Each structure stands twice: as structure tokens, then as C-alpha cells.
Amino acid sequence: MSMSISATVLRFGRWTNRSAETIDREIDEELDFHVECRTRDLIKSGMSPEHAAEEASRQFGVRDRIRRECQTIGYGLNVWLIIALSGGILVSLATIGWMGWLLNSANQQNQQMLAMVNAQQPASDPKSDLNGEVKDDKDQPVSGARVLLIFKSWPGGQYQQESFVQTADEKGKFRFPELYSPVMQNAFLVTVLSEGRTMQSEYVVYKAKAKVKPFRFNLQTAVEKTLIVHDTSGKPMADAVVFPSLRKPAKGPDEHMMYDQSAEAAGFKTDAEGKVKMALFAVGDAVQLGIVGAEPIELVIDKAAEQKIGAGMSAAAASATGIHGTVMDATGKPVADAKVLLILKTWPGGRFQQQPSETTTNAEGRFAFPVGNHLDGKEAFLVTVVAEGLAFQSRYVMKNAGKQTDPLGFELSAATEKTIVLRDSAGKPLAEVVVALSSRKEDKSDEHMIYGVSFPSVSYKTDSDGKVALNFFAVGDTAKLSLETSEGSQEIEFNVNDKPEQAIDVKKKVNRP
């Protein structure tokens, strides 16, 4: 793809004045995510995980060139377009056979990927605290400020995203105790909200074994603002939950963001007239507001005490939004009270974020999530259904803008009754160990996955004999379990046999309480 074509495609992006550092970080994150998606696709096609990672890395041997080209285009771009650009380049490479001369670069890329994965293996090092402080523009501590954290990590080489909330103390200090492993790669998005002061955030990625520095915030004075939220018909939206998503100051390249995953801890509710007070911005700021159950709103903060803004979507679009479906067993009967786990991946403003949700099926086997499946954005989502006595299933869907997916249908086959017995290398039972379902792969079939952020919903504990009942697999499955120990998380893999009990020797050391 020529530079002129790239420039033509990319110049239509919004928020074009982002800092070079922000854009570099977004480019790297999105390309890393694209490599991960390609790896999973190859695994589903039948490749082993090792060969899939190698092939995905080989195909992305051109990523350094892609990155340089995107940087050259004035840093005025949306990161979701990078995915389209990289995908187009890959198609071109597959068509005209460019991969020969890129082999050396691909091999180097593969070594980097393997090194990254090896660096993420569980370690015995204790978890470290994440610290920081919040002050105002006069360098005085800001007590009571809400500190929202999105913590990104790569345990075992797999991406994981978690959200946390703390409050600054009387000295303006905050602490997230025992949060991260200092020997692994970590990323932190810390956003600070304090009424009467401007919203601020900082995003930092630390490589493995890098020293994590305390966060420092100096909040500026915000303008008093009452926002009046109305729908597409002009009627006020009462009791709507509104939260700040993005703030870009009128001067300077910085932008301050908050992921939707933190919305519950940062929401403001409108009154009967659709009004809500939000003193978190300065005059001239370009702002994006999220609204639960509606599309986000973009506005520029003016000097008026009140500012009317629009929200909502057309009735046709609203009726089709949300991710929903049905769960049946192999006989066609609905499965009630099944756990349905959702991982929703979106790219608001060109920034990747991952949002977990959970629900259960009703008496008719139906489930529905109020999020996702919108027309106006690219999305990817993983839906996993877990029910006692049935082999769990998952479905991974990628949806482009302008399209919506049909309801998902799951048909769960009967699982074998299975008691797993965990033993250490000396043959002794591993008692009180937390075991989470991770994946299952049927013979010549797709792999069914559960992301780490959903593990608490599918976790079970071994008894004093190291036994735990896991009636979620079929005979012949290749199963993976995640073990949570004092040394961190580790994954075990085994083939499910037809015996009521199956002993598994855990090679790595697991401390027993």
C-alpha cells in the first residue's frame, strides 16, 4: 500500500491532535491485539498454539513498517483504521507473495513474541502496590478524589484487563495494594475525578522487571456546568446515567480518558428534567460523555452555566442492539439458570477496551445483555455458556460497523461426571486450591474459551484430598484449568478420560496453606 493511499484513508480520523506518545502507544496496543486475534483464529483452524503463535508472528513481520508509515502520516489518525490498514497489507502480501523477502524480519518478530510470552510465566515474586497522590493547582492535597484504575496484564502471555476503584485520603494519597507482579509486563490507566476540578488521567506501560513509579496528578479548576440531556425527539432523558469518557483540553496535545468498565464508579444521574451537574471540565475542552443504554455524546464545553446536549438512537437501531440468544441442551430443551459470560471488545475513539459482563438464562433458556451489537462501531465479543452437567461452549464474533449479528444459539451436549484430583510432584493432594475453567477443545472442533477476567464466576476449590467436581467436560476433550496459588496463576492441560475420578500431577510447585 502506498503512502498516498494510506494518507487518503487516515486523514478522516477524529481527535487528530493527539500526542505522538499517545498515538505510538495506541498503535502498538492495537497491533499486539491484532496478532493475538490472528493467533486465536489459527488455533481454531486446527493449528497447535505454538505453531499458531509462530505463524501469526511471521505474518506480522511487516509491523515495524506499518508502524513507521502510520507515524509518518502526521500522527493524525484513528487507531481502528490501523487495523484495517494492517489487514489490507496482509491480504496484499498473501496475494502477491511478498512474504519471501520478509522472512528474516518475521523470524525476529517471532523471537520477540516468544520472549514476551516466556517473560509472562508465573513467578514466585510477591505482588507490589501501585501508589500515587492527587493535588490541586496550588499543590494542595485533594482528599476524597475518586481514583479509577484499569489494570492490564499478560499472565501466561494472554491479555487480561481488570478495573479497580480507590479514594484519595486526607493527604491526597492513594494505594492499590498487592496489585501487580514486578517481573511481568503491566499497563495502567489511572483516571482521577474530583468535583470542581478537571478530570485527568495517565496511561503507562511498563515492560517486565521495569520499576513502576508513583502516579502524580495536579488537577486544575473546572467550570461549573449543568448539562441537559435529551433524546433524539428532544425530550429530556430522566434518570439517565452519564459518565465522562474523554476530555481533550483546548490547548496542548494531552487527552484524558476513562474506560466504560469504570462507568459504574463514575456515573452521574440526570434528574426529571434531564439535568446533571458535572464540574469536571474546562471551557474549550473537547469532551465525550458515555450514557448507559445510549450512544456516547461529543461536545465542546462552552461558557454557559447550562448546556443542552443530545443522546439516543433511532427506534430501529435500539430494537436490535444488545447481545442476546438462547441455550438448549442436546434434546432441544431450554437450559435455565445457565451462566452466560460476555467479554465485549470495542474501540471508542480508536482506543481498545474490554468490558466483562455476566447474566443467566431464564426459564426459556434465553439471555440478553443490554450492551453491544450497535450499528455504528466495530466490535468483537466472546460469549461463553456454563451449566452444571453440560459441556461449556463459547462463541467469538467480530462485527464491523454498519452491521449487526443475529441472536446466538447454543446447544450444549451432556458432560461426563468428573472429579479432578490434584497432586503435587510428590503425589500429595493439593488442598484448598482455587481452580477455574479456562478452555475445552473437542476432537476436530473449535476451542471453547473463558477469559481470565471471568474466572471468579467459574472457580471452584479443592477439598482436603485435593478433589474438586468439574462436570463441564466431555470424554475426549482437551481441557485447560487455571490454578490460583500463592505463587500466582498457572495453567494445566489434560485429556478428559471416561473415569469418574482423574488424577492430575501438577509439576510446578504449589504452596498449600
Both 403 and 347 in one domain: the answer is yes
In the chain, how many domains are there? 5
325/151 Cα distance (integer angstroms): 30
Both 7 and 114 in one domain: the answer is yes
Both 25 and 113 in one domain: the answer is yes
Cα-only R_g, the chain: 24
Return the half-sphere exposure (C-beta side, CA atoms, 13 A cut-off) of residue 316: 3
**% of the chain with per-residue pLDDT over 70:** 69
Q: How far is CA 33 from CA 57, 238, 265, 355, 396, in A?
A: 12, 38, 27, 15, 15
Both 157 and 82 in one domain: the answer is no
End-to-end CA distance of the chain: 58
The answer to whether residues 328 and 412 touch, using CB atoms and an 8 Å cutoff, is: yes
Paired with 308 in beta bridges are: 228
pLDDT at 102 over 70: no
221/213 Cα distance (integer angstroms): 26
pLDDT at 440 over 80: yes
pLDDT at 2: 34
pLDDT at 94: 42
Both 277 and 329 in one domain: the answer is no
142/194 Cα distance (integer angstroms): 8
Per residue in 386-436, pLDDT tens? 999 999 999 998 888 767 678 899 999 999 999 999 998 888 899 999 999
pLDDT at 259 over 60: yes
140/197 Cα distance (integer angstroms): 13
pLDDT at 337: 94
If one compares 73 and 5, the residue with the highest pLDDT of the two is: 73
333/351 Cα distance (integer angstroms): 41
Query: Could you tell me the pTM of the whole model?
Result: 0.50
pLDDT at 291: 84
Instruction: Extract the runs of DSSP E, i.e. beta strands, from 53-196.
Output: 128-136, 146-153, 160-167, 173-180, 186-194
* Domain end call among 186, 219, 252: 219
Whether residue 512 lies inside any domain: the answer is no
Whether residue 511 lies inside any domain: the answer is no
- Quick one: cell of 130? 501501585
Return the ∠ at Cα 318 (arms to 314 and 324), rounded to 5°: 165
Both 346 and 401 in one domain: the answer is yes
Q: How far is CA 373 from CA 41, 79, 178, 407, 454, in A?
A: 21, 20, 36, 10, 20
Per residue in 195-228, pLDDT tens? 999 999 999 999 888 889 999 999 999 999 999 9
Per residue in 291-334, pLDDT tens? 877 778 888 898 888 888 876 543 333 344 678 889 999 888 99
Per residue in 22-44, pLDDT tens? 555 555 665 666 666 667 666 65
The answer to whether residues 185 and 208 touch, using CB atoms and an 8 Å cutoff, is: yes
pLDDT at 292: 78
Q: How many other C-beta atoms lie within 10 A of the C-beta of residue 363?
A: 8
Both 108 and 155 in one domain: the answer is no
If one compares 384 and 23, the residue with the highest pLDDT of the two is: 384
Residue 180 pLDDT level (bands cut at 50, 70, 90):
very high
Both 404 and 423 in one domain: the answer is no
Whether residue 187 lies inside any domain: the answer is yes
Return the ∠ at Cα 382 (arms to 379 and 387), rounded to 5°: 150
Both 358 and 259 in one domain: the answer is no
Smallest Cα–Cα separation from 504: which of 481, 484, 473, 486? 481
Per residue in 48-91, pLDDT tens? 666 666 666 655 554 554 555 455 444 444 444 444 444 554 44
- Quote the domain boundaries for residue 455: 419-505
The answer to whether residues 327 and 393 touch, using CB atoms and an 8 Å cutoff, is: no
505/467 Cα distance (integer angstroms): 12
pLDDT at 6 over 50: no
Burial of residue 33 (number of CB atoms within 10 Å: 0-12, 13-18, 19+): middle
Smallest Cα–Cα separation from 390: which of 356, 365, 423? 365
pLDDT at 235: 84
pLDDT at 219: 95
Residue 8 pLDDT level (bands cut at 50, 70, 90):
very low
Both 268 and 325 in one domain: the answer is no
94/437 Cα distance (integer angstroms): 37
CATH number at residue 330: 2.60.40.1120
pLDDT at 22: 54
What is the overall mean pLDDT for the chain?
77
> Phi first, then psi: what are they for 72, rounded to 5°?
-65, -25
* Domain end call among 412, 447, 464: 412
Both 306 and 322 in one domain: the answer is no
Return the ∠ at Cα 268 (arms to 356 and 288), rounded to 5°: 70
Whether residue 513 lies inside any domain: the answer is no
pLDDT at 106: 41
Both 462 and 403 in one domain: the answer is no
DSSP letter (8 states) at residue 262: G
pLDDT at 442: 85
pLDDT at 464: 92
56/80 Cα distance (integer angstroms): 19
* Domain end call among 219, 235, 267: 219
